[in-house]
Structure 1
Amino acid sequence: MRTTIAFLLALLLPISSAWGEQPKTAAPQTQAVATKPPGAAIASGHKLATEAGLEILRAGGNAFDAAVAVSSTLSVVEPISSGLGGGGLFLLHDAKTGQDLFLDAREISPASATPDKYLDKAGNLDEEKSQNGPWSAGIPGLPAMLVEMAGKHGRLPLKQSLQPAIRIAREGFPVYGRMARGYKQRMDVMRRYPGTREVYERNGKPIAEGDLFKQPELAHTLELLAEKGFDGFYRGETAKKLVAGVNEAGGHWTAQELAGYQVKQRKPIVFDYKGWKVTTAPPPSSGGIALATMLQILEPYDLPKMDEAHRIHMVVEAMRRAYRDRTFFLGDPDFTDIPQEVLTSRDYAQGLRATIHPDKATPSDLLSGQETPLEDDETTHFSIIDGEGNRVGGTQTVNLLYGSGLIPKGTGVLLNDEMDDFALKPGTPNAFGVMGYEANAPKPGKRMLSSMTPTFMESADKAVVIGTPGGSRIITMVLLGMLGYDAGLGAQAVAALPRYHHQWLPDVIDAEPRAIGADAAKALQAMGHKLDLPGDEAAGGRGSSHVWGNLQTVEWDKRSNTLSAGTDPRNPVGEGKVELAKP
């Protein structure tokens, strides 16, 4: 079977088949290594966002200016996933200095959001408050990131880089199926708020696929941001409307909390894996520490040569242990003492590896050791490499489908519902089955734990940017993508790889349709694993067809000096990638 056929079928084949079609081949050692890419590559969740990034590159911008354009345009065209009312985590590589930077634009907890506010009369978690409306929303961070990215890293003014998003918000774009279906799914909540109804309904009718979706109020908010920078959102007209809208809906924000928001620059997590330098997200992301744990557990194994069942067994056991540590130890590093040096060390990974039986599953309840103490698919990610070698991996979100559902009147800004990512009641799972304790409890100004994991991989001859939405599954999707690159797959084949996931609790392997072959499933069950295989009734599944994620990745091959981009074929909007663009 030719490689091209294997890539087209990658979504339908077990991971072993996809890997087997594209073995790693060594480039001739005499071939020179390029010092700069031949152009630019962008992969995002929507073609309009990718085109916005290219527009800014052609105007003389760099990858960081393009990131402002892509991020802000995604905020316009993917309101189901992200927006100015949310936040994100962004990994940057400056080619001139060789420095890697991490920008934390995660939302923060308002002072009013104490844990007792999220409990019902019986003392149970009130999911209505944690997932819908004003109490579910944290103070947004994305607008501050756009200002920071342009001002400190870009070469064009913010006003110029925001123009594509402003234009699309004002002129409109066609509603796609996922948007329309998502609104119908959340309509009961979103209709509560006049500011939301004005945006998503016309003459009392909800948006429908094919409608021209215009957002003049959001365009005005973006214009104020473009003109006045930080003060255009966090102070003045927009800030007053945001505070008024939240408080009129029954929440409690203050002007001081908005004005006090700060993007945090943090030191990325860096480690080696089989000749790859991996640079990834530190806390408040849980992803980087988990990747370091999982990959260093797996490093001694030649995974592509294992049979499918044993390869999945080893990967799942690594996932299980990393997610157990996530529950106990991880939170906002400004509020929580995180044993990061230990958790990311090879010695620690070696100790965890020693607890894995090669042929038997480890029941998750045997790993607890003490009283133990998911972001959703509606997140989005983009990856960029420019012609100078600058790189950006950005993951941004409003958390659940359409966030809180609340648009403060006159702003066009759909607010997040990230408060659900805190451990609002210790030991109680959130909307995605993930739970936590004191390390991730809400406090004024604290950032909730995230699974967003923008990541760089670099070897002697390749540089990769990779990331995805997908809630608590983000980390395992990035892991599988990285293992795919290490096995020799190209960018598009990596984006299409089938996916499976384990997060310690519940103690079950979750998988996409046909991600695990029937024989491998039986072998895994014989090892003691519990499986949920939707879409594969022969392997014991329920017969559904659920897939997840929207992985976006770009790759620069320095020996052939070629660029390639991979955008997830699960994405119903259409390809948002450009493999080679010369400004």
Structure 2
Amino acid sequence: MGCVVGKRIRFAVAVFAPIALIASTAHAAGAESPPPKKVPEAIGLGGAVSSVDLDATNAGIEVLRRGGNATDAAVAVAAALGVTEPYSGGIGGGGYFVHYDAQTGEVSTLDGRETAPASADRSLFLDNGAEIPFDEAVTSGLSVGTPGLPRTFEQALDRWGTRELDTVLEPAVELAREGFRVDEHFREQTAQNEERFAAFPATRELFLPGGQPPEVGSTLRNPDLAETYETLGDNGVDAFYQDEIARDVVETVQNPPVEPESDLRVRSGDLRTEDLESYEAIEREPTHVRYRGLDVYGMAPSSSGGTTVGQALNMLENTDLSQVDSAEYLHRFLEASKVGFADRNRWVGDPEQVDVPTEGLLSQEFADSRECLIKPDATLPTPVAAGDPRAPGGECEPETSDARTPREGPHTTHLNVADATGDVVSFTITIEQTGGSGMVVPGRGFLLNNELTDFSFTPTTPGEPDPNLPGPSKRPRSSMSPTLVLDGGEPMLSVGTPGGSTIITTVLQVLTARLDRGLPLVDAIAEPRASQRNTAQTRAEPEFTARPETVRLQELGHVFDTGDGEIGNASGLERLPDGRWVAAAETTRGGGGSAAVVIPAG
């Protein structure tokens, strides 16, 4: 096995140095050029990167090779993903940045979540008291929050970086100008959004060349985005939040540039230049739990990822998952997820505007009071009623509620970077739905997000407070879960994934598969997935229900729905005891991910 991995890594290193060469070769050969090779696992020294995309991973490796650190490389990867994965993330959206500092041993986070306009209130997505249809809300100016990613880039580089913004944006500028090779996954995502993309001239011109989704093997260029990146590099991100770019963003939101002949109804939003001028990414204390003697750090609210993953781990701590059979392991994983989501939906929102009992949600006392609901021989009835982390304890009797399941878009993207000194970054970025709001800012080359549809349009549980209703300058709740695991104060794992609310369950499943079941990281990522989010049916991949354990799970009461295909597109890093890094990504989901190291082993 070691020899095979070594050969794969050597090939990966051979292809990732000259990004421009990859792009120009694709252009010269057109649709007939063979696709560049992705590898899902790489082992070595000098730094490591994993993401969903080969070009983006290459961008990070290039920065590391030139002496940049993990933060420098993470910004480079994220900017490149804005070129090659524009439907999942980009400077028209936001993200969460989790950083480990090898010199101090400190874990820090930046909340780069988008914010609602200052004029927003609880009626944001209501029309005469009734909820606006969800699809209509998505493709509208109403759904666009103030983008947070550019400010996150700036604040991360100021806090931990060693390179200037213009330097780390260079690979993405070149990639946008020279173009990237369209793969089947990109074409499929474009085709799924063809009708609404066609309604916006700037979006149609960029992503529907000749009026059709681009052909697999063709080269897609984005010179407008290259110019936008150069503007940010030359003038700083204030050019995005205060100058002409800000005015273009606001104009797009307030007067959506819809094709006059389009039948699509696109509502205007009320984002203003003052909203952009006042935006800041917030440095927050990370969430922290102890699990199997390890320290697990995640993203605090406004994300629900760190609290829900942490609470579920605390519940699972009471069972030695390495010793139970596979069916019991999966049963307890699904039930802990179910209970965690009940509490997440009731308590987590923007901590600047609602009282989020983060400490209580992460306490072992609260986890124990909730874990006792989980029975080895039956599933809990759904939806499970939320507990109260402010007053844990009492009788251990399951109760149900009439809560609705909140909606959350399924597409985001994640990256992991480690450098030669041991700094690590786990970074999840998003524009929400595939293609966000569908609106490209004319002349700027990036899609605007639809993050505000992550708010509850109306209270999800009648008669109870909802912490996630819209409000002025409020951050909508997220499920993004960039996660770092430390062993004795040293980095061990970095994990994250896209997938909307399934992000939480995917990260939890990858962590338990690696830490409890002993799977290699790349295999833990490749495992068939299921996602239980306090609903009557558990969403599952067909490969999951094909497992022999499914019969036993169904006997316990689990009901599976396989109608929505793949769940997530995870990636991660692991530091081995000898100091080498394992970079790992998906083997098949989304066409496979991309892992690379600076100096390969073997």
TM-score, normalization by structure 1:
0.87
Spell out the pairing of 1:140-159 with structure 2 (5 A cutoff): 140-159=147-166
Structure 2 unaligned runs (5+)? 5-43, 257-267, 387-398
Q: Give the conservation status (yes or no) of the 8 Å contact 1:310–1:359.
A: no
Which of 562, 566, 569 is 1:550 aligned to? Answer: 569
Residue 41 of structure 1, CA deviation: 1.1
Matching of residue 450 in structure 1 with residue 469 in structure 2: no
Of 394, 397, 420, the match for 2:453:
420
Residue equivalent to 2:444? 411
Answering whether residue 493 of structure 2 is matched by residue 484 of structure 1, we say no
Look up the match of 1:209: 216
Give, in whole Å, the separation in 1 of the partners of 2:527 and 2:119. Answer: 43
- The equivalent residue for 1:382 is 415
Q: Deviations over 1:419-458 (max 9, x none)?
A: 11001122289xxxxxx95300111111010000000112
Quick one: distance in 2 between partners of 1:437 and 1:509?
Answer: 26
1:494 to 524, 538, 551: 524
Separation (CA, whole Å) in 1 of partners of 2:377 and 2:442:
58
- C-alpha RMSD of matched pairs (Å): 2.3
Q: Deviations over 1:206-237 (max 9, x none)?
A: 42222211111111111111111121211112
User: Does residue 1:520 correspond to 2:549, yes or no?
Assistant: yes
User: In 1, Cα distance between the equivalents of 2:484 and 2:411?
Assistant: 22
Distance 1:326 1:545 in 2: 23
1:239-270 Cα offsets, whole Å, 9 max, x none, are: 11111122221322211111111000000011
What does residue 7 of structure 2 align with? none
Q: Which amino acid aligns with 1:307?
A: D
Q: Indicate if the aligned counterparts of 1:284 and 1:331 stay in contact, CA closer than 8 A.
A: yes
The residue number in structure 1 matching 2:498 is: 469
- Provide the C-alpha distance between the structure 2 equivalents of 1:422 and 1:136, rounded to a whole number of angstroms: 10
CA drift at 1:518: 5.6
- SS of residue paired to 2:64: helix
The separation in 2 between residues aligned to 1:530 and 1:206, in whole angstroms, is 37
Task: List per-residue Cα deviations over 1:341-387 (Å, max 9, x = no partner).
Answer: 11110111111122222211110245356664754442100011111
> Is this contact kept in 2: 1:69–1:162, CA < 8 A?
yes
Deviates more, 1:370-379 or 1:285-294: 370-379
* Partner Cα distance (1:3, 1:350) in 2: 42
3-state SS of 1:361 partner:
coil
Q: Does 1:309 align with 2:338?
A: no
Q: Is the 8 Å Cα contact of residues 91 and 101 (structure 1) preserved in structure 2?
A: yes
Separation in 2, partners of 1:366, 1:107:
30
CA contact (8 A) 2:131 2:457 kept: no
Counterpart in the other structure of 1:83:
90
Deviation at 1:285? 0.9
Counterpart of 2:29 in structure 1 is none
**Larger CA deviation: 476-485 vs 119-128:** 119-128
CA distance in 2, matches of 1:301, 1:574: 33
* Count of residue pairs the alignment pairs up: 532
The 1:545–1:103 alpha-carbon spacing in structure 2 relative to 1, beyond 3 Å, is closer
Mapped partners of 1:508, 1:444: distance in 2: 35
Identity in percent: 35
The answer to whether the 8 Å contact 2:383/2:402 transfers is: no
Are 1:170 and 2:198 an aligned pair?
no
Classify the secondary structure of the residue corresponding to 2:467: helix
What's the offset of the Cα at 1:319? Answer: 0.7
Aligned to 2:253: 246
Aligned partner letter, 2:361: L
Question: Contact 2:495/2:507 (CA < 8 Å) preserved in 1?
Answer: yes
The aligned residue for residue 503 of structure 1 is 533
Would you say 1:229 and 2:236 are equivalent positions? yes
Separation in 2, partners of 1:3, 1:171: 36
Residue 137 of structure 1 aligns with which residue?
Answer: 144
Distance (Å, rounded) in 2 between the aligned partners of 1:443 and 1:338 = 16
What pairs up with 1:327-406 in 2 under 5 angstroms?
Answer: 327-365=345-383, 367=385, 372=403, 375-406=408-439
- Counterpart selection for 1:569 from 582, 587, 590: 587
Q: Which residue number corresponds to residue 59 of structure 1?
A: 66
Tell me the secondary structure at the aligned position of residue 367 of structure 1.
coil
Can you list the C-alpha shifts for 1:306-330, whole angstroms capped at 9, x where unaligned?
2222222211111111000011000
C-alpha distance in 1 between matches for 2:593 and 2:481: 22
Per-residue deviation, residues 66-89 of structure 1 (Å, max 9, x unmatched): 011001101111012111101101
Q: CA deviation at 1:516?
A: 4.2
Q: CA deviation at 1:151?
A: 2.1
Aligned-pair CA distance for 1:574: 4.6
Residue 336 of structure 1 aligns to a residue whose secondary structure is coil
Within the candidate set 263, 274, 278, 2:281 is matched to 263
Unaligned runs of 5+ in 1: 6-36, 430-435, 535-543
**In structure 2, the residue corresponding to 1:451 is in which secondary structure?**
coil
**Contact 1:468–1:478 at 8 Å: present in 2 too?**
yes
Whether the aligned pair in 1 keeps the contact of 2:182 and 2:220 (CA below 8 Å) is yes
SS in 2 for 1:271: strand
Q: How far apart in 2 are the matches of 1:519 and 1:175?
A: 37
For residues 531-550 of structure 1, the aligned pairs below 5 Å read 531-532=560-561, 534=562, 546-550=565-569
CA shift, 1:462, in A, is 6.1
Change (3 A) 1:420 1:428: farther
Instruction: Give distance in 2, aligned partners of 1:545 and 1:242.
Output: 33
CA displacement at 1:490 relative to structure 2? 2.0
User: Alignment partner of 1:440: what SS?
Assistant: coil
- 2:28 is matched with none
What's the secondary structure of 2:251's corresponding residue? helix
Give CA-to-partner distance per residue, 1:526-553, whole Å, 9 cap, x none: 2222222x3xxxxxxxxx6822211110
8 Å contact 1:406–1:414 — kept in the other structure?
yes
